[in-house]
Amino acid sequence: MKSDGIRDFDFLLGRWRVDNRRLRKRLQNNDEWETFDATQHNQALPGGIGNFDDFIADSWRPGFVGMSLRLFNPQTRLWSIYWLDNNTAGLDTSGLLLPPVVGKFDKGVGVFECDDQLDGKPIRLRYTWSDIAPDSARWEQAMSLDGGATWEMNWRMLLQRID
């Protein structure tokens, strides 16, 4: 029986240690990376509509808090993932939520994309979930200036479950 997708992110429920590798300057032909640890706690939303997590990286940016909100649409069978943080709350200047990346899992790999902006320039944004196991997972963020013809991976997280 084929899954409808509603349980695709169940693997993420719980507490995680996150090993981060992040490009310091994005889409600038830069190869300087920063590395840091973070923690993440993922919880289900009521009614099976999705989940959310916190992202705490005190060694990287003391006081910074991020949050992912993942919502599943049973009609389209697609996930929408919003990034929120305590810098902008994930809102644009008019107070609206920034666009989510949208997508699904296929053969164990989740790909989620949207049109976005970086420093006022239009970009394509992609999140990819892969290497999913009971106690580990991999997440990558990539950006494209040419509508997705070429991609620059600029952030990688390796997650390890915390008991």
| Amino acid 1: pLDDT | 40
Phi/psi zone of residue 95: left (φ > 0), alpha (ψ -120 to 50 degrees), beta? Answer: left
What per-residue confidence (pLDDT) applies to 12? 96
Regions of the chain with pLDDT less than 50:
1
Residue 145 — φ and ψ, nearest 5°? Answer: -95, -10
CA atoms within 13 A on the CB side of 80: 12
Return the pLDDT at 126: 98
Q: What CA–CA distances, in Å, run from 97 to 31, 93, 100, 146? A: 31, 10, 8, 24
Length of the chain: 163
